[in-house]
Amino acid sequence: MTFKIVLLPGDGVGPEVLAQAVKCLHAVEETFNQHFIFKEAPVGAIAIDKKGVPLPDATLQLCRESDAVLFGAIGDPKYDNNPDAKFRPEQGLLQLRKELGLFANIRPVISHPTLLDKSPLKKNIIDGTDFVIYRELTGGIYFGEKKLNPEGTKASDLCEYTEEEISRIAHLAFKAAKGRKKKLTLVDKANVLESSRLWRKVVTKIGESYPEVALDFLFVDNAAMQIILNPKQFDVILTENMFGDIISDEGSVIGGSIGLLASASIGEESALFEPIHGSYPQAKGKDIANPIASILSAAMLLEHLGLTEEAWAVKKAVDKSLKKGIVTPDLNENSQYGTNQVGDFIAHNIVDIEDDTLMNDENIDLGKSTII
């Protein structure tokens, strides 16, 4: 089959890691008789530089016409410490999420057996962790009214949710829990926030239609503690936008590196796939950024397109790179492998998952092993 995929490399290490995911998608084409039509467009700081806005209309239009969007990373330090900047790169991503109606952000958190000692958390605590965060992505404090008084001395951000916004992601999360360990934890701050009380009410009601799923509730401060005290207790975590942003970075510590965590952002008509990490500007152009989060985002994209076997092959090839230690320096400070070599190794192993011969360490060093 043929699918239209829009590539949004964005800023910092975005283009480098995205290029590795694209190699893997080429490997999928080669192996599984699928065809991807790739179109690339600017977003973020690079779009501000080139087109004057973080999300040019043409980029948005391309995304609307696509079967899926693969996103790199966004952000540039030159905007971080300038509160007066007219545009910020991150607005591009937020606008894209809103315009494409990507209301559900899905972030799996698993511990890899080979990486247990990379996490600062104790092995026995994280071993066997397997949960997924369903983060609401187009509402809450991110999108509520923002105010700054004329003197610039008082500011506010409104956190608003409607029953409809809560209900559509809650259904997705319950359905996911039904197919997993049948537990759903709503993370909120219902002891303080009115919006959280609405979440509890709506989610409790929806829970009645999913009697096989055990529903429980945690205040976000307690959840932040439980995620590192006993992450194995979780199956599906459902939460609002800001809490989801915070606890998903926290969850990445379990996997051993934020460079491993992929995510899917799903709407009624569009879908976007991106690593949860930022643009890591310090690593830009150094060939050290971990491409695995981007490659696993491509695997989630394949799953979304119904290409389950293809997605499995990508995940298998990633596992193999982790097992064999073909990893970037964030996972092994003595590693001599760079972003490109890890990408080559994984792409090669999608084409021939059993073939170890071409991919010995010597070939990787010489850059001979690439299939692309």
Q: Residues 237-276 vs ligand IPM: string with x where CB under 6 A? A: --------x------------------------------x
Place of tokens 């890591």: 280
Nearest approach, Cβ of 248 to Mg ion (angstroms)? 6
Nearest approach, Cβ of 246 to Mg ion (angstroms)? 8
Nearest approach, Cβ of 209 to ligand IPM (angstroms)? 30
Question: What is the bridge-based pairing of β-strands 262-266 and 104-110?
Answer: antiparallel
Q: Is 352 assigned a catalytic role?
A: no
CB 9 within 8 A of CB 294: no
Catalytic residue among 142, 161, 210, 280: 142
* Residue 310 interacts with which of ligand IPM, Mg ion, none, CB < 5 to 8 Å by class: none
Q: Does 106 bind ligand IPM (CB under 6 A)?
A: no
* Residue 74 interacts with which of ligand IPM, Mg ion, none, CB < 5 to 8 Å by class: ligand IPM
d(CA 264, CA 95): 16
Phi, psi dihedrals of residue 135, rounded to the nearest 5°: -105, 125
Question: What is the bridge-based pairing of β-strands 146-148 and 155-157?
Answer: antiparallel
Catalytic residue among 23, 189, 315, 320: 189
Phi, psi dihedrals of residue 362, rounded to the nearest 5°: -65, -45
CB 353 within 8 A of CB 324: no
Nearest approach, Cβ of 370 to ligand IPM (angstroms)? 30
Place of tokens 């000692």: 117
Q: Does 45 bind ligand IPM (CB under 6 A)?
A: no
d(CA 218, CA 28): 41
Residues touching ligand IPM, count (CB under 6 A) = 7
Q: Is 355 assigned a catalytic role?
A: no
Helices (H) and strands (E) in the chain, counts: 14, 12
Nearer to ligand IPM, 105 or 185 (CB): 105
**Of 53, 120, 109, residue with least CA distance to 85:** 53
Question: What would the two tokens of residue 261 be?
Answer: 């965590």
d(CA 92, CA 60): 10
Catalytic residue among 245, 315, 320, 344: 245
Q: Does 90 bind ligand IPM (CB under 6 A)?
A: yes
Using the contact rule CB under 6 A, the part of the chain among 10-18, 86-94, 167-175, 335-343 near ligand IPM is 86-94
Nearer to ligand IPM, 280 or 337 (CB): 280
CB 339 within 8 A of CB 290: yes
Site for Mg ion in 194-253 (CB under 5 A): 245
d(CA 77, CA 180): 40
CB 283 within 8 A of CB 271: no
Nearest approach, Cβ of 298 to Mg ion (angstroms)? 20
Residues touching Mg ion, count (CB under 5 A) = 1
* Residue 90 interacts with which of Mg ion, ligand IPM, none, CB < 5 to 8 Å by class: ligand IPM
Question: What would the two tokens of residue 48 be?
Answer: 């501000």
Phi, psi dihedrals of residue 348, rounded to the nearest 5°: -60, -40
Nearer to Mg ion, 89 or 338 (CB): 89
Nearest approach, Cβ of 138 to ligand IPM (angstroms)? 11
Q: Is 221 assigned a catalytic role?
A: yes
Count the Cβ atoms, other than its own, within 10 Å of residue 65.
11
Count the Cβ atoms, other than its own, within 10 Å of residue 196.
23
C-beta nearest to ligand IPM: residue: 90
Question: What is the bridge-based pairing of β-strands 236-239 and 262-266?
Answer: unpaired
Site for ligand IPM in 62-81 (CB under 6 A): 74-75
Catalytic residue among 67, 127, 130, 249: 249
Binding-site ranges for Mg ion (CB under 5 A)? 245
**Annotated catalytic sites, by residue?**
142, 189, 221, 245, 249
Binding-site ranges for ligand IPM (CB under 6 A)? 74-75, 90, 93-94, 245, 276
